[in-house]
Amino acid sequence: KSDFSLTGRSAKRVVILGGGIAGLAAAYELGKAGYDCTILEARGVAGGRNLTVRGGTTETDLDGQTQRASFSPGIYLNAGPARIAQWMVTLDYCRELGVPIEPFVNANADALIYNEANGKPVRYRTAKADVYGYVSELLAKATDQGALDGQLTATDKERVLSFLQSFGAIGGRTAGWEYQGTNRRGYASYPGAGNDAGTPLDGPAALADVFASNVGRYFSFEFGYDQAMMMFQPVGGMDRIPYALSRAIGAGRIRLGAEITAVTDKPDGVEVTYRREGRTRTIEADFCVAALPPHLMARIPHNLGTAVQSALGSFPVTASGKIGLEYAGRWWENDLRIYGGITETDLDVSHIWYPSTGFHADRGLIVGYYNTGANARAYGSLTPEQRLLRAVEQGVKIHGEKYRSELTHSFSIAWHRTRYLEGAWTSPPWGSAGYNLLLQPAGHVHFAGDWLSHEVAWQHGAFVSARAAVTALHQRVLAH
């Protein structure tokens, strides 16, 4: 039940492997209940994939390439997590820990769509007006001509037609249901004083050309239950979350630079070996929460059994990368009137993000690519300088020379080449015997991480998985 405390019991010792969100959340919740926790984290800072890059941040990748960010004060790149949906438990932790949040602009009618074959970008609002308009026209014609009489009564038909007329801004029956454009497309010059009715944009292009341009390719993104506005971000960077968790846990309980090298389950507890400051050390505890990525846990010698070992190896890992581009001026706001949001492109950069904060400031940071899979591997195999050149080359196609000339600093991350992470997220084999095995403790070791949830690639998954693990651990303690 709700007895999440150790009232009347001696404080059990728990060693937590990994100081990502799952490890931190486990220590935070267990600490509230009176457990004696120690986190072992290999990296120099807690947070794991929750990494915010600021001026001074240094990272050496698996290929031995070192980058040191020289972003200006106040400029940062959320290299991993960057957005939070309203329903996610991540926001409850922000509230509880006093981490202020602000909107993350995940959809913007004034952001752009650039498909290379079309040669020039189009605003989302224009693309949507045309696609919705022509789809409505087609469906209205089919409906009115009787093509759907098997599905619709006469009354249904009138209701569908009336919906389509407003949804697509199309003409009525007498106008043949035609889409002829709408001011939803936007203007070349917006309406003004007196008799200035504005100058509409050219277009729309013919129906076949609109569909051929494939501008509707990515419209459905913002319908997602996990991506629909409102979305949020912590003020000042996503790492405000691990920062606040670390403070609540107590810095003395978190050993940074501690690389775990062996895990041994024993009859009455767990022994964990780790390397820190050039020395090998051992820690003993009553229980362990193993919150490492499964593909890395699989490389650590342990005695948890062959079934556990093969289950850990059954999580395919996704590659992903981002580049942060700092600019000396906010030309996307001043010239293009794009205040936050995402430009979608079929170029290998995939997504270009405009900042959701610092509007009208002197400087700002654009995410010049956020890609996954083959595109992420392609950029990941380049040097940081080559990644920058390639990303800028692509961005210039959309934004012109300013994209190159106003750039001041950059930093890129290839998650699959990042030490102690070696991947962006996994595709869990949900429902398999191996997955279900890892939901159970192996001796005194309980597993946690977003990979043991149905919200992989979200901090929400890491939080709820950690809560499930510490709840199970606590039930065992209560039962004895």
Contacted by 41, from ligand FAD, ligand PHE, none: CB < 5 to 8 Å by type: ligand FAD
Q: Find out whether 20 and 449 touch, Cβ atoms under 8 Å.
A: yes
Extract the tokens encoding 293.
Answer: 């990525």
- Work out the angle between the directed axes of helices 154-168 and 124-144 (0-180°, nearest 10): 160
Rg (alpha carbons) of the chain, rounded to whole number: 26
Name which position in 459, 470, 473, 474 contacts ligand FAD (CB under 6 A). Answer: 459
Shortest distance (Å) from residue 226 CB to ligand PHE: 6
Find the helix or strand (DSSP H, E) in which 91 lies.
helix 89-97
Residues in 28-67 at the binding interface with ligand FAD, rule: CB under 6 A: 40-43, 48-50
DSSP conformation class of 233? E
Residues in 308-347 at the binding interface with ligand FAD, rule: CB under 6 A: 320
Name which position in 22, 245, 421, 457 contacts ligand PHE (CB under 6 A). Answer: 457
Residues in 285-304 at the binding interface with ligand FAD, rule: CB under 6 A: 291-293, 296
Extract the tokens encoding 352.
Answer: 């270009």
Token pair 């994939």 is found at: 49
Extract the tokens encoding 314.
Answer: 């059954």
What is the Cα–Cα distance from 416 to 379, expressed in whole angstroms?
11
Name which position in 144, 226, 259, 346 contacts ligand PHE (CB under 6 A). Answer: 226
Residues in 75-114 at the binding interface with ligand FAD, rule: CB under 6 A: 80-84, 90
What is the Cα–Cα distance from 233 to 85, expressed in whole angstroms?
9
If the CB atoms of residues 144 and 346 are measured against ligand PHE, the closer one turns out to be 346
* Nearest CA among 43, 39, 47 for reference residue 14: 39
* Mode of pairing for the β-strands spanning 279-285 and 84-85: unpaired
Contacted by 459, from ligand PHE, ligand FAD, none: CB < 5 to 8 Å by type: ligand FAD
Find the helix or strand (DSSP H, E) in which 465 lies.
helix 459-479
Quick note: the x/- pattern for ligand PHE over 74-93, rule CB under 6 A, is: ---------x----------
Contacted by 226, from ligand FAD, ligand PHE, none: CB < 5 to 8 Å by type: ligand PHE
Give the residues across from 412 on adjacent strands: 323
Q: List Cβ neighbours of 45 (8 Å cut-off, separation of 6 or more).
A: 51, 239, 242, 256
What is the Cα–Cα distance from 144 to 412, expressed in whole angstroms?
54
Cα dist from 267 to 46, 306, 445, 480, whole Å: 31, 18, 12, 15
Is position 376 an interface residue for ligand FAD (rule: CB under 6 A)? no
* Mode of pairing for the β-strands spanning 36-40 and 254-255: parallel
Name which position in 458, 461, 469, 474 contacts ligand PHE (CB under 6 A). Answer: 458
Find the helix or strand (DSSP H, E) in which 424 lies.
none
Is position 351 an interface residue for ligand PHE (rule: CB under 6 A)? no
Contacted by 49, from ligand FAD, ligand PHE, none: CB < 5 to 8 Å by type: ligand FAD
If the CB atoms of residues 82 and 105 are measured against ligand FAD, the closer one turns out to be 82
Quote the distance between the C-alpha of residue 469 and its chain's center: 23
If the CB atoms of residues 391 and 442 are measured against ligand PHE, the closer one turns out to be 391
Contacted by 442, from ligand PHE, ligand FAD, none: CB < 5 to 8 Å by type: none
Q: Find out whether 458 and 450 touch, Cβ atoms under 8 Å.
A: yes
Q: Find out whether 333 and 103 touch, Cβ atoms under 8 Å.
A: no
Q: Find out whether 235 and 100 touch, Cβ atoms under 8 Å.
A: yes
If the CB atoms of residues 323 and 442 are measured against ligand FAD, the closer one turns out to be 323
If the CB atoms of residues 110 and 226 are measured against ligand PHE, the closer one turns out to be 226
If the CB atoms of residues 168 and 341 are measured against ligand FAD, the closer one turns out to be 341
Cα dist from 393 to 342, 354, 386, whole Å: 18, 18, 11
Report DSSP letters for 391-422, one per residue.
Answer: HHHHHHHHH-THHHHTEEEEEEEEGGGSTTT-
Residues in contact with ligand PHE, counted by CB under 6 A, come to a total of 5
Shortest distance (Å) from residue 78 CB to ligand FAD: 8
If the CB atoms of residues 25 and 169 are measured against ligand PHE, the closer one turns out to be 25
Contacted by 450, from ligand PHE, ligand FAD, none: CB < 5 to 8 Å by type: ligand FAD
Region near ligand FAD per CB under 6 A, out of 13-21, 139-147, 359-367, 391-399 = 13-21
Is position 23 an interface residue for ligand FAD (rule: CB under 6 A)? yes
If the CB atoms of residues 330 and 351 are measured against ligand PHE, the closer one turns out to be 351
Contacted by 18, from ligand FAD, ligand PHE, none: CB < 5 to 8 Å by type: ligand FAD
Residues in 212-231 at the binding interface with ligand FAD, rule: CB under 6 A: none
* Nearest CA among 429, 465, 430, 442 for reference residue 307: 442
Binding region for ligand PHE (CB under 6 A):
83, 226-227, 457-458
Binding region for ligand FAD (CB under 6 A):
18-23, 40-43, 48-50, 80-84, 90, 259-260, 291-293, 296, 320, 415, 420-421, 424-425, 449-450, 457-462
